[in-house]
Amino acid sequence: MISLSSFVQKASSLIDSANFNLPSLSSNDDNPSKASLFRQQFRLPDSQNPLQEITAELILPLPSNTSSDSADGSRRVDRPGNRYTGRLHLSERFICFSTQPTSFLPSSTLSASTSWTGQTHGTGPSGNGFTLPLSSIRRVERLHSAREVFSLALTTWNGMLNKTQEPNFAPQRLILQLVGSRQACERFCDCLKKGLREGMKEVDNLRSIVSDCYSEYLLSGTKAKDATDGQGRQPPDAGLGMLFRYPGDARKLRDRSKMRLWGEYFRENGRNATLVRQPTFHKLIRVGLPNRLRGEIWELTSGSMFLRIRSPKLYAETLAKFDGQESLAIDEIEKDLNRSLPEYPGFQSEEGIGRLRRVLTAYSWTNAEVGYCQAMNIVVAALLIYMSEAQAFFLLSVLCDRLLPGYYSTTMYGTLLDQKVFESLVEKTMPVLWEHLTKSDVQLSVVSLPWFLSLYINSMPLVFAFRVLDVFFLEGPKVLFQVGLAILRINGEELLDIQDDGSFISILKSYFSRLDESAHPRSENPKLRAITRFQELMVVAFKEFSGITHSTVTEQREKHKNAVLNNIESFAKRTSIRNLGPESKRLSVDDLGTIYDRFYEILYHWEQQQKLADEERQRNEKKKSQRQSILGPPVDRQVGRVGLGPSPTHMNYDAFRDFMAATSKWAASDSPAPLKNDPSTSGSWRGNAKASLWANRRQAADHEFMQRLYRKWATDPDEGLSLQDVVTGLARLKGAPDIMNNINYFFGLYDDSGNGQVDREGILKMSEALLFLSRRGFEGTITATPSQDEINNPRGNNDEAEQSRLTTDERFLGSVSAFIRRCFEYADPSHPDHQRAGFSKKTEEVTEKLDAFAIGDDDEEEEEEEEDLIDISDDKESKTAPVEKTSPQPTESISPNRPRSESANPALDPNNPLHITLPTFRMVVLADELLEQFFESYFPQSFHLSDHPHPASVAASSSLSSNLTTFSKIGRPSASVTAGVSVAGASGGIVPPGKGLRGVLDNIVTDGIRMAAEVKKRMDDAQRDLERNALGHRDEDDDEDDEDDYPSRQGASAAVMAGGISSWGAGAYGPDPERRSVRDADRDLLEGAEADVISIRPTKDEGSSEDSHGARPPTVQDTEVVSKVVEFES
Amino acid sequence: MSDTAGGNAPKPSSSVKLVLLGEAAVGKSSLVLRFVNNDFQENKEPTIGAAFLTQKCTLPTRTIKFEIWDTAGQERFASLAPMYYRNAQAALVVYDVTKPSSLTKAKHWVAELQRQASPGIVIALVGNKLDLTNDGGESAGGSRSPPLEHGSGEDEDGEEEEANDVGGGELPDSGDARKVSTREASSYAEEEGLLFFETSAKLGTNVVDVFTAIANAIPESSLKTGRGTAGAGQTSLGNRSAEDARVNLGERNAATAKEGCAC
């Protein structure tokens, strides 16, 4: 007996069980996991996993009074009893047996009355065999047989959980012969033993469910049981039909004799939880279930009974738990209650409507992702005619989760997918009809969609729809396809004549209305004449289309899944992009598409992670997991696509970091492998490249800046970021590529109190953020700009590109350092003594921090920079340095030369000296060329979206960069309006970001008029001062305006560089006179720039020669400031 | 062209595919029911997928047979809509005058149609439930029911004031459930080049007018002739000509459609 094949089997069982023990990690594959196939096969709850599997033979003792089964028994009567070979499976709570499809000969002895049952007989997913909860097994014995056979005898609780014993009762006993090595058999038995011990705990649950089964009631009565038995116990709830009559004529449906047959079957093969499926079972279902047993058999064949056994009180508990609460789903349910099967009297009554309301509501609470979908009301209403509320509740969840996956989801992808599958099956099986439909431009699914969505319930007369449902619950979704195909096949000829949707629909409507008529009214043969159209339909469905199996459907679903999901997703995408509101219009459609894809990509990635983590946790606490997923979305539900339905809509901070890492280089973490040189990754990172997406994704960095960005973008940081939040956030940054906007934005990130001030801590954080943002280089955005630096800098544009990039990076460090110092300078201390100490201490700290960021060799760098310095600055430095000893802050508040900053900073609080305001911040940024470029181009451009940005943003950005690169250019007579406006806006400082160009202009005018005189005076001063200082090339200004400004600007910025870098080297603040002087020069340059800017518009009539002096005031200021400082100190 | 050829027939007949879109429970099905059966039901079965109905509309020069696809309004059915508006020559985008959110949804539909439906589709914007407002309600003879499902839970963001000054200078009346002003909707419709009506399916106000206006707005050249009436006799040849006509329509009206596109 134990031959090679059994070795193979043994091996495969070993391999299988090993696989089965693995968690469903593969669940995100397109193929369903083995575990889910197993559950599908035996209709088990999602908590079940295949643990053991072995080939076995089921031996059912022949019933003492063999009457009905004799026909089937004739197949294999070489040994007493019916024997079935198949696989025996063991899960945590179930023992299941099913004949392999090949091991069971399709019954060829079809009597006339059952001829239409067709060949699918026995090959439904359930097959022949059993699915027994371990709790229903009372005893297992090992049989000692003579041969080397491993036999088990199972005795079940069948019929013994009832208080009243039936007469002639014999316990149900099944014999199983395991085929396999002794070891495999032992292992199986061990596992079974363990399961049985666990199962004992559920016997009470089982008892409570079973005692409510109509089958128990049916069998508990004596043979003489009447339909009108009033004595004894009340019949269990078998649906609204008991109160309002069942649809159809019971006599015509031969309900009584069906009931008798079922009674017989139950007695021989067990009932409810302990039922064994034999061929008769399938036949009895095909002829239509008797009314009062219909609900129970549906529950059994669909497997929803097992869910109910697991948690018998869930329905009542759910209703109690959410009692009185409201939801969108409830509103929607309420709208439809009065219009669900209104033709059935039960749903014209409060009783029926109440039941419907409770079942739909309870389900919407347990599965909030599905909630409520129209058509569920019709399906549930139909179920409630035959089942209790609790039964309908569990059956609905099996429908939504397993039998009709995705049908009622928020995207209804399952419905659309099955329509595609149906169309392709029609094309395959009825090519002529298909061609005609295509040619006539009739879309099949407009007709067939309601069939599937409401399970034919509102297409066919109820009695027939229920017959379809009988088979559907046993054999699964393929039945819907078979029936649909049969409908088309039967009406094929007429359908070939149709020209439009209208005639298509009317043909089928009239067909459905005549289902009870004879299919062959003119036939001579009375037997043939007796066959109704519905019977004909069933024969065609299950005989002609017997080739449509569960695997056909699964296969086709797989094939079309992507196309359908893509359709839905592109619909969802274009809808949601279109609905993003006016802000989003600042980004191009491609950009929005990229954001959308990336957003959901990351959300789903996180969802997957979450799921895996949950599974991990479940595995760790296995005991608990048993209770999980009794209802609700299946554990191995596929996630990861918008089209699949209820999507998470908000990303948390961690997901946001991932999003940013995919968007911006700087947001990627440095730790594992800094992908420094692939800006292409982010650029090419589109929705289509999904597979590669996580393969080469970057680790997300975490930085305070990102937290700030997150909080800024989020409408509600606790809830997370919605797509709208992200789009709005990005649109504000990228959509208006205006340097002022970017500076304002950045400042806003640090304006924690919202009062337009950033304190000392904030300044330091800003500078850290600047370094954080720049630590990956500038991707060419800064050096690419034809800045004055580079024109003058021989290294800037030469072939050693890498060298120059490094230089830019390092120079940027200098800029940041200068930034800090300037910020502190311009913040006004009213208690300078205190301030002084705190300030230098702070600066030391920062300097240390900055040191950590330094890339190159500071000293060397400094020297190099110095070489680039232009002599003026050097001169200035040496001149001013000795005098400069204290903090220059006081000058700002006192100096009459700074009415600008004062007028612009009315909120500047002298008691909080280390606050800088937005205008100050702007000044500081604009003072430095690199910072300016940083905010102008790098910062917005570092957010990589699509390759096709909004045309406006490109145009504006380029125009700005040409006009705004340096201040010197503003001085040109040809300065464009744009440049003037933006810069003036900056100096105005009162313009709220949202106010736009109009506001900017208004401010310029008011400010300008007020300032014109002052500026003029300063200009004159500057002129005079300049002459006094007698710096050689300043004299050229009269004849060469444009050129004049370049060197001065250049010199200043270079000086800033040098100052910044040397300050790191020195560490301490005080003793470096040179640096101090540079700083002052810078500040004064700022002021000069400011004055310059203001002069543009209001002083137009003063002529360009005035403007050209813009860079001059520094010198004037310088001396003045110095004198003030000295006074102050003394 | 075949219209003129069949001059001996009393009136040329042509069919027009029309699709109804709009938020749930704005009264799409009721509008159709009023138009097709001149009937009104308080409890109309919800539309699963879409319902199909036909009704003839007689114009002075021709008869139009509307093939009406009445779609489900529940949000999740939206992804099925492309199936129904495919090849539609006309669309009725319905909102509820007592529910501002339904106009927003209607605008989304209009944008969707302008982008995705066949070019040249005739779109009518219809504000239903006029019977719940003062201007429509008075004629109901005081028998109108309170706005059960519409009145509660709405965002009261100043829409009300706007509504009041539009209702033909009427005094602010507590009984007026109107939340979307005629002006707001009509100016939007004008911008987008839509037909615009306010209707009451319950009272029958303006319902037939909507369909008649649509029938008139459909360019004659785009009509498929006699598809519904000719029945089985039609050959695939005739069908092809219908398709050609549709293509013509697209070319002719492409410009107008684009112009109205919002984004």
Superfamily of domain A413-565: Ypt/Rab-GAP domain of gyp1p, domain 3 (1.10.472.80)
- Cβ distance B74 to A445 less than 8 Å, yes or no, reads no
- Is A54 in the B-facing interface, judged by CB distances under 8 Å? no
* Residue among B253, B221, B206, B216 at smallest CA distance from B63: B216
The most confident of the ranges A147-151, A864-868, B7-11, B204-208 is B204-208
Residues of A with CB below 8 A from B149's CB? 331, 334-335
Task: Please give the pLDDT value at position A1085.
Answer: 44
Beta-carbon pairs below 8 A across chains A and B: 113
* Residue among B92, B172, B179 at smallest CA distance from B130: B179
Among partner residues A410, A578, A579, which is closest to B76 by beta-carbon distance? A410
The most confident of the ranges A239-243, A517-521, A651-655, B226-230 is A239-243
Domain ranges of chain B: 16-142+159-259
Over range A646-665, report the average pLDDT.
Answer: 76
Q: In whole angstroms, what is the distance from residue A744 CA to residue A993 CA?
A: 7
Task: Please give the pLDDT value at position A397.
Answer: 93
- Cβ distance A332 to B74 less than 8 Å, yes or no, reads yes
| Between residues A169 and A1098, the one the model is more confident about | A169
- Cβ distance A575 to B69 less than 8 Å, yes or no, reads no
Q: Which fold has domain A314-403?
A: Helicase, Ruva Protein; domain 3 (1.10.8)
pLDDT digits 0-9 by tens, A79-127: 456 788 888 888 889 998 887 543 222 232 333 222 233 333 444 455 7
- Cβ distance A505 to B52 less than 8 Å, yes or no, reads yes
Please give the distance of CA A701 from its chain centroid, rounded to a whole number. Answer: 21
Over range A990-994, report the average pLDDT.
Answer: 39
Task: Please give the pLDDT value at position A166.
Answer: 60
Task: Please give the pLDDT value at position A561.
Answer: 92
Residues of A with CB below 8 A from B115's CB? 574
| Between residues A790 and A631, the one the model is more confident about | A631
Please give the distance of CA A915 from its chain centroid, rounded to a whole number. Answer: 42
Q: Look up residue A205 and give its two tokens.
A: 């649950």
* Residue among A587, A571, A634 at smallest CA distance from A733: A587
Among partner residues B48, B79, B230, which is closest to A571 by beta-carbon distance? B79
Task: Please give the pLDDT value at position A33.
Answer: 65
Q: Are B76 and A411 in contact (CB under 8 A)?
A: yes
Q: Are A640 and A601 in contact (CB under 8 A)?
A: no
- Is A409 in the B-facing interface, judged by CB distances under 8 Å? yes
Check whether A181 has a pLDDT greater than 50: yes
For A454, which residue in chain B has the nearest alpha carbon?
B48
pLDDT < 50: residue spans in chain B: 1-7, 137-173, 225-263
Domain ranges of chain A: 4-201, 314-403, 413-565, 736-1130
Instruction: Report the complex ipTM.
Output: 0.70
The most confident of the ranges A71-85, A322-336, A933-947, B182-196 is B182-196
Among partner residues B44, B80, B111, which is closest to A578 by beta-carbon distance? B111
- Cβ distance B263 to A585 less than 8 Å, yes or no, reads yes
Question: What's chain A's average pLDDT?
Answer: 69
- DSSP conformation letters of A700-733: BP--HHHHHHHHHH-SBTTTBEEHHHHHHHHIII
Confidence band, pLDDT 50/70/90 cuts, at residue A736: low
Check whether A489 has a pLDDT greater than 90: yes
Distance from CA of B140 to the nearest CA of A (A): 24
- Is A445 in the B-facing interface, judged by CB distances under 8 Å? yes
Distance from CA of A115 to the nearest CA of B (A): 35
Check whether A339 has a pLDDT greater than 50: yes
- Cβ distance B228 to A500 less than 8 Å, yes or no, reads yes
pLDDT digits 0-9 by tens, A587-635: 777 888 888 888 888 888 887 878 788 877 777 765 444 444 445 444 4
Task: Please give the pLDDT value at position A1125.
Answer: 38
Residues of A with CB below 8 A from B79's CB? 411-413, 416, 567-568, 571-572
Distance from CA of A281 to the nearest CA of B (A): 34
Task: Please give the pLDDT value at position A379.
Answer: 95
- Cβ distance A578 to B45 less than 8 Å, yes or no, reads no
Task: Please give the pLDDT value at position A148.
Answer: 67
Over range A344-365, report the average pLDDT.
Answer: 94
For B50, which residue in chain A has the nearest alpha carbon?
A446
Residue A401 three-state SS: helix
Check whether A139 has a pLDDT greater than 80: yes
Task: Please give the pLDDT value at position A172.
Answer: 83
Task: Please give the pLDDT value at position A244.
Answer: 93
- Cβ distance B231 to A579 less than 8 Å, yes or no, reads no
| Residue of B41, B43, B45 to mutate, interface with A, max A Cβ within 10 Å | B45
Among partner residues B43, B83, B227, which is closest to A443 by beta-carbon distance? B83
Residues of A with CB below 8 A from B56's CB? none
Task: Please give the pLDDT value at position A810.
Answer: 72
| Between residues A162 and A889, the one the model is more confident about | A162
- Is A585 in the B-facing interface, judged by CB distances under 8 Å? yes
pLDDT digits 0-9 by tens, A689-712: 343 444 445 567 777 788 888 888
pLDDT digits 0-9 by tens, A361-384: 999 999 988 899 989 999 999 999
For B43, which residue in chain A has the nearest alpha carbon?
A339
- Is A375 in the B-facing interface, judged by CB distances under 8 Å? yes
| Residue of A459, A499, A591 to mutate, interface with B, max B Cβ within 10 Å | A499
Q: Which residues pair with A142 in a beta bridge?
A: A152
Over range A1018-1033, report the average pLDDT.
Answer: 59
| Between residues A145 and A1068, the one the model is more confident about | A145
If one looks up domain B16-142+159-259 in CATH, what number appears? 3.40.50.300
Residues of A with CB below 8 A from B15's CB? 500, 502
Q: Are A333 and A361 in contact (CB under 8 A)?
A: yes
pLDDT digits 0-9 by tens, A385-404: 999 999 999 999 999 988 99
Task: Please give the pLDDT value at position B247.
Answer: 37
Q: Are B31 and B95 in contact (CB under 8 A)?
A: no
Over range A410-416, report the average pLDDT.
Answer: 89
Which CATH number fits the domain A4-201, given the four candidates 2.30.29.30, 3.30.365.10, 1.10.3720.10, 1.10.10.60?
2.30.29.30
Contacts of A823 (CB under 8 A, 6+ apart): A763, A766, A767, A916, A920, A921, A924
Q: In whole angstroms, what is the distance from residue A278 CA to residue A263 CA?
A: 14
Residues of B with CB below 8 A from A572's CB? 79
